[in-house]
Amino acid sequence: MTSATHDAPAHNAPAHDAPALTARTALSLPHTHVDTIFVDGAWQPSQGTGRNPVTDPATGEVWGSVPDGTPEDVDAAVGSAQRAFQGEWPKLSPSERAAYLIRIAEEVEKRAEELSLTNSRENGSPVSESAGAAANAAGIFRYFATLAGYLEREDVRPFPRGGGESVVRRDPLGVCALIAPWNFPINLVVIKLAPALLAGCTVVIKPASPTPLSIRVIIDAVAAAGVPAGVVNLVTGSGRLGDVLVKHPGVAKVAFTGSTPVGRKIAAACGELLRPVTLELGGKSSAIVLPDADLDAMSEVLIRSSMRNTGQTCYISTRILAPASRYDEVVDMVTATIAAGKQGDPLEPDTVFGPCATESQYRTVLEYVESGLAEGARATTGGRAASLSGGLEQGYFVEPTVFADVTPDMRISREEIFGPVITILKYDTVDEAVALANNTEFGLGGLVFGSDEAAALAVADRMDTGSVGLNFFASNHAAPFGGRHDSGLGTEYGIEGLNAYLSYKSIHRKV
């Protein structure tokens, strides 16, 4: 596959700045090669000899490695978690477990700088993004700690016809496999780990192979918080190891965030085993711009809502649906906003757009860019590998790209790209806009931009998706987050996310 080599059409918006990677010259960036996994409360050597390299996507440099784990490693980790589940952890009161969550949050915050730098070197997230990872993770632990009272509240339900009542118990499921992706390698683990621990479960974590080092910082925080040995375990390796973990007979529940194709395989395995599973998968979300939308206000939230983390965010609305009456205005605003964002070294504090996280994803994104051009879409900014514009030759940089004149049948309109690409489609009526937003196999996020909040809410109610933002988008730790259709099964966050780690027992008695 060749990279797109066309010259982007002239436009009034400024061109992307493409500086050399200068931030690294002022930093001492160590190489990190480790030989251990975390089992039974300690860092222990892997039972295999294979290595999983870690590459900085901004430079292409291999700067670290971890064990490419073995089935024996998984056996050891699951066995450790099983023993811990038979021990004191599930017998503690929810309030006692909540106290551990608070201590973990405090320990995570102490490691904020290390966490941010490691995260950015693993997947290229700008430090402006990764700098908030520790605070967000700590916030998740603290939120779930507040739900201890929900678990401790006595739940007695009278028989509808009288004569008896049922005491409803909430029991932890057991050993949980937590499998995370590479785009947000910390918080997409923590949103599983925090409710699992509060529920009384024990866990085995398997991070994505490109991002296995930053999660070790969280494990160190867990250990420093005094969490009993075996409650939290970590194995590293390829997707093959994840498959071993999903199918392990000692696992009681699987929680996975990642691509829809992999999610289907995990769902099939869990269905065969009658094993509970939570899947947060892909998306192709739409932002409906209503005719009365304030485009200046929209521009202020556009990058976070539609190209967060260089477009490598599951819920962002990468399809913008604009009314025909204001189509050119919307195209101009989106183009100018995206083109003004600095692309460069993710370790520079003012960088907005970094590289694609992996070489494979870089090639995938370029393939989508080429398909958009071949099918007649117009790149109003970007549209090629950033190396072609100079200054970013070493890493996996694709210029942030905006496509206008996009039609619903184009691949870039239908398929998840997971990179810095926005498409802008035209609609004539609000009914058509809703139909376009719902004409997808996915259903994860969405946005409605409009000055009349009641009208915007009415449109949001018609969108067939798990979450919708009105004039902005942000996840709420207290509200359920999950996808419909090909975007997943089950929910995370909120009480609903906690319930995913519980099994129910009804004890019936006469009164």
Active site residues: 280, 314
Q: Report phi then psi at 357, rounded to 5.
A: -70, -30
Which amino acid, residue 280?
A: E
All residues at 6 or more sequence positions from 32 whose CB lies less than 8 Å from its CB, including other chains: 54, 63, 64, 65, 118, 213
DSSP for residue 341: S
How many CB atoms sit inside 10 A of residue 19's CB?
A: 15
Over its C-alpha atoms, the chain yields an Rg (Å, rounded) of 24
CA angle 144, 218, 93 (to 5 degrees): 35
Please check whether residue 317 is in contact with residue 305, taking contact to mean a CB–CB distance below 8 angstroms. Answer: yes
Backbone angles phi, psi at 373, to 5 degrees: -65, -40
What's the rounded Cα separation, in Å, for the pair 404 and 423?
6
Q: What are phi and psi of 62, to 5 degrees?
A: -80, 115
Which are the contacts of 209, defined by CB distance < 8 A and separation ≥ 6?
Answer: 52, 182, 236, 237, 238, 239
Half-sphere exposure of 452 (CA within 13 A, CB side): 7
Backbone angles phi, psi at 196, to 5 degrees: -60, -45
In terms of Cα–Cα distance, which of 240, 237, 239, 23 is closest to 124? 23
- Helix, strand, coil percentages, rounded to 5, for the chain: 40, 20, 40
